[in-house]
Amino acid sequence: MEMNASIPSWRHQMPLPHYVQALLASPPHRGCGLHQWIFRAARALHTYRGRDEIISLIEQAVAGEPVQPREIEDAVDNSAAYAWQPSALGRGVRLSRWPSVDTDRRAAVVSTGGGLADLWETSPFPLSDNRVRSEEFVDALFPSEALLCCGKSNRDFATKTRAEWRGSLSSLQLVVPSPMTEVWGTTKKGKRSQHTLENTGPRRFLVIEQDSGTPDEQASVLLHLAGMAPLALAVHSGSKSIHGWFYCVGKPEDRLRAFMNYAVRLGADRATWSRSQFVRMPDGTREGGARQMVYFFNPEVVK
């Protein structure tokens, strides 16, 4: 496989360091952190072994423990971006920041998943009356006192309290999916702005967007990912993509990055990894007047 080809052959003959051997010799039981251990072990092994051998070593280490289908393979693939490198080996070695799209895996997910109608029908909250509910959605998704950065475009935006935005959200097309900490922040270029990474607070939602594939294919991917993380909302962009909002308060960044890596493998746009990235306002209005309809809403996962 391509990932194996990127590993120099001499690494396969390198003896495993004692700390890696000790790690492989002491996996926890299921229910006591086994999933996290698989990811950590894979991350440590990337420097010394290729993908197939890493999978084999971990399978041997966890023999007898209940492991989910593809749990080890996905951990190995998703941990590649976090591969640990000792300084002597790390010089001059550049690992890909994000994985490439795995077309075979995406096709398998799409072929076994539902489509847009299934996403709509499985929504715990009924959406059949076609009423615009921007205000209701935002009330359920964010705390009442939240500072929200919203906009009509990437150039026309503001950060205001929820109360100040009330009544105007359905006319907007963009929102940052995490509350802001301050009204103003400083951009990387040193400019003052109400939309910056600096004044964006901790992640509240990790949004998965796909620019390729049909709406049915994108819905299949979101339904698949909803089996791994709590899907709170799915909103159509009014053009060609569906944004899936996954609730993630309190989740470690390495877990979220692993989830995002997997989503990118399935065709997601990596841009929404940035906490300050604008996404589509639920039931908002796109430039040109198209409605950004919500196809799935589960307020019960938001705590």
Say which CATH topology domain 107-301 has: DNA primase, PRIM domain (3.90.920)
Q: Specify burial of residue 79 (Cβ count, 10 A radius: 0-12, 13-18, 19+).
A: buried
- 246 in Cβ contact with 235 (< 8 Å): no
pLDDT score recorded for residue 82? 67
- 237 in Cβ contact with 286 (< 8 Å): yes
b/e burial code for range 47-58 (CB count within 10 A of at least 16 → b): bbbbbeebbebb
Chain segment 168-227, per-residue pLDDT in tens: 999 999 999 999 999 999 998 899 999 999 999 999 999 999 988 999 999 999 999 999
pLDDT score recorded for residue 1? 31
Q: Specify burial of residue 64 (Cβ count, 10 A radius: 0-12, 13-18, 19+).
A: exposed
72-81, 113-122, 293-302, range with the lowest pLDDT: 72-81
Chain segment 86-138, per-residue pLDDT in tens: 543 444 444 457 889 999 999 999 998 789 999 999 999 999 888 999 999 99
CA-based nearest residue to 54, from 70, 75, 36: 75
Cα 175 to chain centroid distance, Å, stands at 17
Q: With residue 23 as reference, give the H or E element that holds it.
A: helix 18-24
pTM above 0.75, yes or no: no
What are the residue ranges spanned by the domains of the chain? Answer: 2-94, 107-301
